[in-house]
């Protein structure tokens, strides 16, 4: 009786994991992870896995291509700017790659009263956060 070799393996579901966690899980399962181009996803925190190619649960023959591309989220989480001065808010946004846009009738030397998008929102890198300061 001849063996048909190792059984095919499904690609593990690593969505939501960090890059390092995903690479370890894929390597442990016998795959060769490579990092793909990052993509924006409002649902996935920046630096975490959005998807893989081939997709999770795809069965790969034992003698097939073991390379799995890992796509990470490029999303930036908006910090809470409430109560900060406008210069403090600008500095805090700059740290995460976002820009501040002052709403009309705001005091450029005042403190942030409202912001949009709100704290905890996920936005694309380089985006703007509108604030009203008084």
Q: What is the mean pLDDT of residues 46-72?
A: 94
Distance between CA atoms of residues 114 and 5, nearest Å: 63
The predicted pLDDT at position 3 comes to: 54
CA distance 89 to 82: 9
d(CA 110, CA 95): 20
pLDDT at 84: 98
What span, in angstroms and rounded, lies between the C-alpha atoms of 26 and 12? 7
Question: Which CATH number applies to 9-72: 3.30.10.20, 3.30.450.40, 3.30.70.20, 3.40.30.10?
Answer: 3.30.10.20
Quick: pLDDT tens for 4-45. Answer: 667 788 999 999 999 999 999 999 999 999 999 999 999 999
Mean pLDDT, rounded, for 114-122: 97
- Catalogue the E-assigned strands of the chain: 9-10, 32-35, 49-53, 59-60, 67-72, 76-77, 99-102, 112-116, 122-123, 128-133
- 8 alpha-carbon distance from chain centroid: 30
| Segments of the chain assigned to CATH 3.30.10.20 | 9-72, 77-133
Pick one of 3.40.470.10, 2.60.120.260, 1.10.760.10, 3.30.10.20 as the CATH number of 77-133: 3.30.10.20
* Model pLDDT for residues 69-82, shown as the tens digit of each residue: 999 999 999 999 99
Q: pLDDT value at position 64?
A: 83
As a whole number, the mean pLDDT across the chain is: 94
Confidence at residue 8, expressed as pLDDT on a 0 to 100 scale: 83
């Amino acid at each position: 009786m001849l063996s048909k070799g190792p059984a095919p393996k499904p690609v593990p579901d690593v969505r939501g994991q960090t890059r390092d966690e995903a690479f370890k899980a894929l390597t442990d399962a016998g795959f060769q992870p490579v990092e793909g181009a990052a993509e924006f996803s409002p649902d996935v925190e920046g630096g975490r896995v959005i998807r893989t190619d081939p997709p999770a649960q795809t069965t790969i023959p034992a003698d097939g291509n073991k390379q799995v591309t890992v796509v990470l989220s490029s999303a930036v989480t908006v910090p809470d700017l409430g109560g900060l001065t406008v210069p403090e808010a600008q500095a805090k946004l700059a740290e995460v790659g976002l820009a501040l846009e002052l709403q009309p009738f705001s005091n450029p030397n005042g403190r942030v009263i409202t912001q949009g998008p709100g704290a905890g929102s996920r936005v694309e890198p380089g985006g703007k956060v509108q604030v009203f300061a008084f």
